[in-house]
Amino acid sequence: MIVLEPRPQPSRALALLSPVIAIGLTLLAGGILMALMGKPPLEALRIYFFQPFGELWMWATLPEGEREMWLYIPSEVIVKAIPLALIGAGLAVCFRANVWNIGAAGQYTMGAVIGGWFALSAPADASGLLLAPYLAAGVLGGMAWAAIPAFLRVRFNANEILVSLMLTYVAGYILDWLVRGPFKDPAGFGFPQSEDFQDAFIMPVLVEGTRLHLGVVLAIVIAVALWVMMGRTMKGFEVRVIGAAPRAGAFAGFSRNRTIWFVLLLSGGLAGLAGAIEVSATVQQLQPQISAEYGFVAIIVAFLGRLNPLGALLGAVILAISYIGGENAQILLKLPKAVTGVFQGMLLFFLLGCDTLIRYRIRVMRPARG
């Protein structure tokens, strides 16, 4: 028989190698999937996973005078990684507290909605100084949506997984109603969309000719700040203790309910900030589809980053490259867009499976005779 036997102590080697093993298993399973779909496995994997890396390398090795035409390749990867990094860093802190916020997509949507309401309500000659209040409105929108599962968990011990997940669909319906009703652009030819945001509410572009915007600076600063908080402050210690040993935290005077409020509002606020940044920097208006799936993909980012805010930056880049690879596969291999979600789901599945081996080891036992 094959059984899982608890290890005397967690394996540090597997804690580091688990993401690498998970990526390798994803490649293997992806090759099998491509073969079943009638595509050449090696060529398909090259296009999907390795071509984006090859394009990044090509850009990095070009002479300075020839890089301008290739700037869109690394910049688009970073643009897609920004919301994933923001949401993933918040979820990493939340999950370390053993609080499972699965509704970051809804908080992302409400951040876009409240931020969009602020931008659309501003006077026609709005100043660029209003960009900061716009982003703050997005943070408040995400925090308000995360406060609902926080309150129900603390007051009625409701399952935050189910509550936050169901609120995601409510947020989507609210956005859809707004862009078809109160926020609908009267000059939009009947399309469900709001008016375009004013220039004052557009994220500043850092590199001319690309979409690389100020959000990348915010994502890095926030990830570093959360890393410092978790490793060097009493609040981070409280979060880690409550997540690992709630009874020990209670004896130390830490409040479980206060920690639940803190991590849910923190992760919800960062998801709302990501939503406000994304609609400002990319679509520059409210639409029914605003890439809310980033909230679900960021769960993989958090685990791929080992529930470390800085690790979430690397995880975000890897998942962003999967988006670019998915777009390449749609064009070159005629694969459906849903294949991207399949690969991301397989990565999470293998990652969680490999993480099991950190605390357990596989042992083959012979059944006793007689």
Q: Using one digit for the tens of pLDDT, what is the confidence trace for 24-52?
A: 999 999 999 999 989 888 888 887 877 76
Contact 311, 305 (CB under 8 A): yes
Residue 75 — very low, low, confident or very high, per pLDDT cuts 50/70/90?
confident
CA-CA distances (angstroms) from residue 127 to 130, 131, 194, 280, 284? Answer: 6, 8, 20, 15, 17
**Considering the chain, what is the average pLDDT of its residues?**
90
Question: What is the four-CA torsion angle of 238, 311, 95, 111, rounded to 10 degrees?
Answer: 100
Tokens for 229?
Answer: 């908080």
d(CA 1, CA 119): 62
Alpha helices in 37-185 (DSSP H): 41-45, 51-61, 72-96, 104-121, 131-156, 160-180
Structure-token match 């509410």, residue found: 201
pLDDT tens readout for residues 101-155: 999 999 999 999 999 999 999 998 888 899 999 999 999 999 999 999 999 999 9
pLDDT (tens digit per residue) in 272-298? 999 999 999 999 999 998 988 999 999
Structural contact between residues 121 and 112, judged by C-beta atoms closer than 8 angstroms: no
Distance CA 252, CA 61 (A): 54
CB 145 within 8 A of CB 82: no
Does the predicted TM-score (pTM) go above 0.85? yes
- The whole-angstrom separation of Cα 318 and Cα 51 is 13
Of 50, 17, 42, 34, residue with least CA distance to 324: 50
Condensed to tens digits (0 to 9), the pLDDT of residues 219-253 reads: 999 999 999 999 999 999 999 999 999 999 999 89
* Per-residue pLDDT at 69: 47
